[in-house]
Amino acid sequence: MQPLPGFRDFYPPDFAFRQLLFSRWREICRRFNFVEYDGPVLESLELYQKKSGEEILNQIYHFLDKGNRIVALRPEMTPTLARMIEAHYKEYKKPIKWFSIPQLFRYERAQKGRLREHFQLNCDIIGEADLEADIELMNLAIDILRSFGLGKEDFIVRISDRQFWSEFLTKKGVAIEEWYQFFQAIDKIERDPKEEIERRLGGLAKEVFELIEKPCYWERFDVVLEGLRHRKLEEYARIDLRIVRGLAYYTGIVYEIFDKAGKFRAIAGGGRYDDLLKLFGGEDIPAAGFGMGDVVLGEILKEKRLLEPSFPRLDVYVVFPEGKKNALGLLLIEQLRSSGFSVEFSFHPLKMKKQLAQAQSLNARFALFVTEKIAEGFVELKNMDERKQFVIPVEQLVGFLEKKE
RNA sequence: GCGGCCGUAGCUCAAUUGGCAGAGCACCAGAUUGUGGCUCUGGGUGUUGCGGGUUCAAGUCCCGUCGGUCGCCCCA
């Protein structure tokens, strides 16, 4: 039996890697005073139809439950967040700064950096319209990557603005129904041949290419870049009008973070979505956020060997010579564990040589020899690294081990 | 959903024109009757992904299927 296509098993080393990644995410979010939340993995499909439109439906993992509800494994966190925020918006001081590490799902063929399931750090600032919030989010994303040891030679934040293109298209008199096609074409510039893009852009092609090559002055970019400059982060970012992002709900600054070598998919992406919350409660609430998945980032960190989890050492391996366990020894094991030490022993009788080999392969700090002498209050403790062994009274054991911490 | 490549032991892989399924690592046991990393010896742990077909004979060739991988579509 294997996991379903596109799903992963996390064996202990994989799980340790994942936990280390998550703990780093949490730590940096805490520094920016974001607090963690979560929501249901399963949502009504309607939640996603509300904002995404019908064509995205075949990408969603959805099915009929036993109550004949059409349910979906969450493909993204933002709709859940929007629903949660809308229901309790008034309770919270603004701006609301929340993060989550949801497991997300999509129904499509797996490929490099894209599985049917992944974990994605989501950071959002809600109730703040100022561009400073967008800058804060970019700052957070950059600091997270830097905390892993990635530098400006490793990644770049490519920043664009939906409003820039909206204004351009309005000025050119392009009907709103055609905007989607336009954004699709922009999005493909890096992958499709130039002639194909020119055909799709039609009369606007020449001007669009010029703008992308050398954007004209746009005050909002100035504000963002100035904000990054104040933080000495300008070298981590650049304006790039080719970034539009697929999601329909973005309304302002959008950005994606890529590895500089161009070997991987986007590491993170985000933007402002000021109109989305309105769909859930009618209230006009500004919001912005980004997502960062565990798959692409994990691939990069593994390639660069920047995140190598280590397992904690075993404190004590209890050796019963000749495999003869006794009640006092087993009680001592229980007492040591109650005192907070990790303790292991062989369940079945083993020769002493085997027991010590076990202790070593488990990376134990100490081997504790328990013989009949425990009845008189004595055991022998062996420091596995120094290979030194000595008799110690049972009542001094905990104190000694604590001192050694 | 579509296309390319791939599928042999727990892992990495080998097996000539179709001719007895193997190696290293890992694992288990012993050498060693109270003390760990080394060494030596022994053990193959397998439905060659699965199901058909061709053939005296299939890991090898053909068809189907499942899975992996890379790409397309789409991108949260």
List the A17 CA – B47 C1' distance (angstroms). 35
Q: Assign 3-class secondary structure to chain A.
A: CCCCCCCCCCCHHHHHHHHHHHHHHHHHHHHCCCEECCCCCEEEHHHHHHHHCHHHHHHCCEEECCCCCEEEECCCCHHHHHHHHHHHHHHCCCCEEEEECCEEECCCCCECCECCEEEEEEEEEECCCCHHHHHHHHHHHHHHHHHCCCCCCCEEEEEEEHHHHHHHHHHCCCCHHHHHHHHHHHHCCCCCCHHHHHHHHHHHHHHHHHHHHCCCCCHHHHHHHHHHHHCCCHHHEEECCCCCCCCCCCCCEEEEEEECCCCCCCCEEEEECCCCCHHHHCCCCCEEEEEEEHHHHHHHHHHCCCCCCCCCCEEEEEECHHHCCCHHHHHHHHHHHHCCCCEEECCCCCCHHHHHHHHHHCCEEEEEECCHHHHHCEEEEEECCCCEEEEEEHHHHHHHHHHHC
- For A314-404, CATH gives 3.40.50.800
List the A134 CA – B18 C1' distance (angstroms). 66
Residues 124-183 of A with CB under 7 A from strand B: none
Burial A257-279 (b: 16+ CB within 10 A, else e): bbbeeeebbbbbbbbbbbbbbee
List the A348 CA – B31 C1' distance (angstroms). 22
Q: According to the model, what pLDDT value does residue A316 have?
A: 94
Cα A91 to Cα A1, A200, A275, A364: the distances in Å are 48, 48, 20, 51
pLDDT tens over chain A, length 405 residues: 678 888 888 888 888 889 999 999 999 999 999 999 999 999 999 888 876 655 567 788 888 889 999 899 999 999 999 999 999 999 999 999 999 999 999 988 888 888 899 999 999 999 999 999 999 999 999 999 999 999 999 999 999 999 999 999 999 999 888 888 888 888 888 888 888 888 888 888 889 999 998 888 999 999 999 999 999 999 999 999 999 887 778 899 999 999 998 888 899 999 999 998 988 877 889 999 999 999 999 989 988 889 888 778 899 999 998 778 889 999 999 999 999 999 999 888 888 888 898 898 888 999 999 998 999 999 999 999 888 899 999 999 999 998 866
The C-alpha atoms of residue A313 and residue A294 are separated, in whole angstroms, by 27
Residue boundaries of the structural domains of chain A: 12-303, 314-404
Q: Spell out the residues 6+ positions from residue A360 whose beta carbon is closer than 8 angstroms to its own.
A: A384
A271 touches strand B (CB under 7 A): no
Q: According to the model, what pLDDT value does residue A360 have?
A: 87
A348 touches strand B (CB under 7 A): no
List the A14 CA – B5 C1' distance (angstroms). 27
List the A13 CA – B32 C1' distance (angstroms). 34
A360 touches strand B (CB under 7 A): yes
The ipTM is 0.83
List the A112 CA – B17 C1' distance (angstroms). 39
Q: According to the model, what pLDDT value does residue A257 have?
A: 96
The C-alpha atoms of residue A31 and residue A249 are separated, in whole angstroms, by 29
The C-alpha atoms of residue A146 and residue A187 are separated, in whole angstroms, by 27
Q: According to the model, what pLDDT value does residue A56 have?
A: 66
Residues A293 and A266: beta-carbon distance below 8 Å: no
Q: Do domains A12-303 and A314-404 have the same CATH topology?
A: no
Q: According to the model, what pLDDT value does residue A14 have?
A: 85
A387 touches strand B (CB under 7 A): yes
- Homologous superfamily of A12-303 in CATH? Bira Bifunctional Protein; Domain 2 (3.30.930.10)
Looking from the CA of A326 toward its CB, the CA atoms found within 13 Å total: 15
Q: Give the CA angle between residues A256, A252, A249 to the nearest 5°.
A: 85
Place of tokens 């996390």: A10
Q: According to the model, what pLDDT value does residue A34 have?
A: 98
